[in-house]
Amino acid sequence: MLHSSPAFDGGLADPVTEAQSGFHALMHAMANPGRIQPLLRAVMPPEPLSVELGMIATTLLDHDTLLWCDAEIAANADACSWLSFHTGAPRTDETACAQFALVSNVAELPKLADFSQGEPEFPDRSTTVVLAVASLQDGQGFVLKGPGIDGERVLHVDGLPQDFADQWRENGAQYPLGVDLVLVCDGAVAALPRTTRITLLEG
């Protein structure tokens, strides 16, 4: 009798429709920085991958996408096999080479400057960092300004590094180079493209 493996189970049941839904959610998030978008929870990856990390991975990654994973994911054979089986994406241990990064634990998030910043001729070759956070409703408030935002927008996030505002300021100063950040939690996604400026919400 054959037994299923967590490395192969839990993928998209309807790959075309469900991946399209995930892609649209992410594109709306990137076009409207800081606006929380619902994210279909159509996969069941093995821990420490969250459903949302798995959804973004199966939506965006393929065999041409070089992927970096945090130490917790990288140390888990089932998680790595699941990613490989359902996305085909090759993995790298070098943050500066990665096109995408999956981070399940903020404590294991490298400095944003350690990831690929892109090249002057090809700024789109920078890393898109996908980070699972504790909440997109509570926590530190940020005031967002920039393209895609009418005036300003407030986003609360629980689960970013203490020095995130400083790191993001340095990231934005490199424009058009710099990383883009995707935040996921509880069936939702929000994005901070490199063009977005943030300040801490006081009080």
- Tens of pLDDT along 58-75? 999 999 999 999 999 999
Specify whether the backbone of 174 is left (phi greater than 0), alpha (psi in -120 to 50) or beta.
alpha
Output the pLDDT for position 7. Answer: 60
Domain holding 30, by residue range, is 15-195
Q: What's the pLDDT tens digit per position in 10-39?
A: 666 666 677 788 899 999 999 999 999 999
Decide if pLDDT at 79 tops 50. Answer: yes
- What is the structure's pLDDT at 2? 41
* CATH number of the domain to which 72 belongs: 3.40.50.11310
Q: Give the number of domains in the chain.
A: 1
pLDDT confidence of residue 19: 73
- pLDDT level of residue 3 (50, 70, 90 thresholds): very low
* Residue 146 included in any domain: yes
User: pTM score, two decimals?
Assistant: 0.94
Q: Are 193 and 178 in contact (CB under 8 A)?
A: no
What does the chain come to in residues? Answer: 203
The pLDDT tens digits for 178-203 are 999 999 999 999 999 999 999 999 86
**Is residue 1 situated within a structural domain?**
no
Tell me whether residue 23 is in a domain.
yes
The owner of tokens 């075309």 is 16
